[in-house]
Amino acid sequence: MSSSNQYNRLAIVFHWLLALLIILSMIIGKLVLERIPNSDPEKLNILQGHSIFGIIIGLLMIARYLNIKLRGKPDPIDSSGKLMRQTALWAHRIIYLLVFITVATGLAMAVQADFPAVFSGVATLPESFNHLTARTVHNLSTNLLILVLLAHISAALYHQLIMRDKILHRLRWKRMD
Ligand code: HEM
């Protein structure tokens, strides 16, 4: 495999860093935030961390998109047929869209609940976020994202383990000659 069959190193860093941050944000959202009432004093710190992670994810997604647009990406892997290539292309587009919607609705909640004032101690959290449409969409887009990411990971593992086409080498730091 030549190095032109691999993503550039910045794209590789963005991919794995985003994977880590998105999975952590989902775990914190689903297993922690969702279960703690807004009246719990602990909630503020966790919400602050979750918001910072979410904003970093949004910025990294923009940087990742620009990096791919400016520097290009490797050709599709030889083993994929036309249908597989189209499916992968659309799966990637849907992942971008869902992450964007999740970050945007998170920010909408932050604006509606005035997080800057809450985090600086000037205001308190609302009783809950349940009445906000942004929260319903945030929850829905996260659930859809979980499904699409599971499909994305399964497809990668199918390539790697069943088709044995070394697809994950494209995202390896080490250059292949
Ligand atoms: C890709 C980035 C993000 C992911 C994967 C994510 C994930 C989640 C999840 C899974 C929940 C629980 C939702 C539920 O089931 O009700 C949640 C809640 C929430 N998230 Fe995010 N989030 C992201 C970005 C953000 C951002 C950027 C902000 C704000 C700046 C934010 C603010 C919130 C708030 C306010 C809640 C509601 C907590 C509650 O209802 O108690 N999120 N998030």
Q: For ligand 1, atom 15, name the residue with the nearest CA.
A: 139
- Model confidence at 177, in pLDDT bands (50, 70, 90)? low
Of residues 79 and 167, more confidently modeled: 167
Written as one string, the DSSP assignment of 23-53 is: HHHHHIIIIIGGGS-TTSTHHHHHHHHHHHH
In a domain, 116, yes or no: yes
Question: Which residues have C-beta within 8 Å of that of residue 134, sequence separation ≥ 6?
Answer: 105, 106, 108, 109, 112
Q: Length of the chain in residues, anyone?
A: 177
In the structure, what pLDDT confidence band is assigned to residue 2 with cuts at 50, 70 and 90? very low
Separation of 168 CA from ligand 1 center, angstroms? 30
CB proximity list for 119: less than 8 A, separation 6 or greater = 44, 48
**Is 60 domain-assigned?**
yes
Specify the higher pLDDT residue, 15 or 2: 15
Average of per-residue pLDDT across 127-149: 97
Q: Is 33 in the pocket of ligand 1 (CB under 6 A)?
A: yes
Tell the burial category of 102 from Cβ atoms under 10 Å away from its Cβ (0-12, 13-18, 19+).
buried
**Quick check: CB of 105 below 6 Å from ligand 1?**
no
* Position 30 in a domain: yes
Ligand 1 close to Cβ of residue 106 (< 6 A): yes
Query: Whose Cα sits closest to atom 12 in ligand 1?
Result: 29
In a domain, 108, yes or no: yes
- For atom 13 of ligand 1, the residue with the nearest CA is 139
Instruction: Say yes or no: CB of residue 144 within 6 Å of ligand 1.
Output: no
The pLDDT tens digits of the residues spanning 91-112 come to 999 999 999 999 999 999 999 9
Task: Give the per-residue pLDDT at 31.
Answer: 97
What number is the average pLDDT over the span 118-124?
A: 95
Q: Cα(38)–Cα(27) distance, rounded to whole angstroms? A: 18
Whose CA is closest to 23, among 46, 53, 47, 64? 53
Can you tell me which residue has the tokens 């963005």? 14
Ligand 1 pocket test: pick from 33, 112, 115 the residue with the most ligand atoms within 8 Å of its Cβ.
33
The CATH number for 116's domain is 1.20.950
Q: Are 18 and 95 in contact (CB under 8 A)?
A: no
Does residue 78 have a pLDDT over 80?
no
**Inside any domain, residue 176:** no
Q: How many structural domains compose the chain?
A: 1
Tokens of 90: 């659309």
Enclosing domain of residue 157: 3-171
Task: For residue 177, tell me if it sits in a domain.
Answer: no
- Of the candidates 177, 155, 59, the residue with the CA atom closest to the CA atom of residue 107: 59
Q: What is the DSSP letter of 124?
A: -
Centre of ligand 1 to C-alpha 153, Å, is 22
Q: Tell me, yes or no, whether 74 lies in a domain.
A: yes
